[in-house]
Structure 1
Amino acid sequence: MFVDSHCHIDFPDLAAQGEALFERMAAAQVTHAMCIGVSFENLPRVMGTAQAHDNIFASVGVHPENTDCEEATVDKLLGFARHPKVVAIGETGLDYYWHKDKPEWQRERFRAHIRAATACDKPLVIHTRDAAEDTLRIMREERADVPRGVMHCFTETQAVADAALEMGFYISFSGIVTFKNATTIKDVARTVPLERMLIETDSPYLAPVPYRGKQNEPSYVPHVAVEIARLRGISVDEVAEATTRNFFALFKDAHPVA
């Protein structure tokens, strides 16, 4: 079985598909998924999705790209984190791709998420784009190694992966690893310890080959596992078993549904 460790199935285009989306998940042997919070404003949709399905879990966070939204505070994050369906804090981190001025508000928001994760003992879901140095620096300064977490949709170098692994983090690969020109990511996928690896879709974005360019969904996550198995010279079953086991080991408040 497979677990999609990071998806946005509350987003309108996917939510509009209703139960058909979950039927395709089941047909593809994707048994569980985590629906990721990106703002407090979208959290009711995230929680509604998780509460309606026993095999869907939720995270709470404010994405680093979001500007026109309620700001995250430690107390606010902790309040939402008390819900039994919330198993992680995030999506959080730094993204300088659209914010070239490297805004201090992003860094303060990131620190608030790490502090909340430490306080409630839930792992972090970290996003970093064009900001690896600052991301790792703040992780070290705020002792992100205490709650630990996952570097989601990993697109960085081996050195960044090694630094995150040293802090106890997991590395999650998305459909990008199936792209022909993603050589650096493929190299990292070959070397990350299998016991510290997760897989995801980040749907509706980044659909894997052979669906590249189309809307992504959780039922496509096995294609990520197939590529990782090919790169490592192991069976798809080994990747599926390890990444599923890793998901429930990291997100300890998530429990498998028979």
Structure 2
Amino acid sequence: MYSGIALYNTEKLNSKNALDLAETFFKIFDLIITSAGYYKKIEYGAYKGEHDIVMGSLSDLKKQIGENNTISFRIYSEKNDIKPWYASFGYTTEQLLGFSYIDIQYPSICNESKLITKYINSLDPNITFSYGINYSCEKVNTAFYYATDTNLSSIYLYEKTSLFEEECPGRFKGKARYKASMLRMVYPVNIINSNHLDIIINNITLKEWIFNNKKNGSIIKMKNNMWLWLVDSNQIDRINKTLGETGVLISWSPLHLEKKKRKLP
């Protein structure tokens, strides 16, 4: 199994900030950095704004970042028998795809929420983003594509794969309501802000709803004005159903579930 982390609304980060986040992640999760790549604008490309990725070492990437020659990058941990990579950290900006986010993939481990808590708490308080998720998939490719809901990648049966992509800025010019008023779905680890805690669930705030029942998970205050909402895996389906029916989940789709269960005559 593989895990993914996606952080959204990261436009206030620069390449140096993102590099610090990347190196901290690989250190905390005990992963070796083997290579890196950065996106470089093609001066005479087939279309305006076309970019190409240049592969090299971490030192090469640091040099390019120091000289302000790159706007987006990816750092890899590679092993010969695992394709396309063992783990990776990607930093994407508005200049590349129209909106900013960070996507991370790595092999699933025990006590994952503790490492994620340590990771988020280790960040500089000036490093900000509005929303993040942690999820699990069978393949590293799925974990990669799921960050932006591309390539029809989904992890829940009751999830419509295109809805989150349409919500994102960039090509679809989405409303990005995940910044404050909605959640994509509910995951084992949800990195949310105070606006999310004020979302109304059955006439009470999400924060009150969580505190009212231990089965609804627990929340931990982070030092960068974010919160971790931790949910037991055996409660995920129930909580997604409750919040989905309330209308606060972007990708919730009970009709999608019915279609997947339908059998051919």
Specify if TM > 0.5.
Answer: no
Task: Please report the TM-score for the alignment, with normalisation by the length of structure 1.
Answer: 0.30
Task: Please report the TM-score for the alignment, with normalisation by the length of structure 2.
Answer: 0.29
Which structure has more helix as a fraction of its residues?
Answer: 1
Larger radius of gyration: 2
Which structure has more strand as a fraction of its residues?
Answer: 2
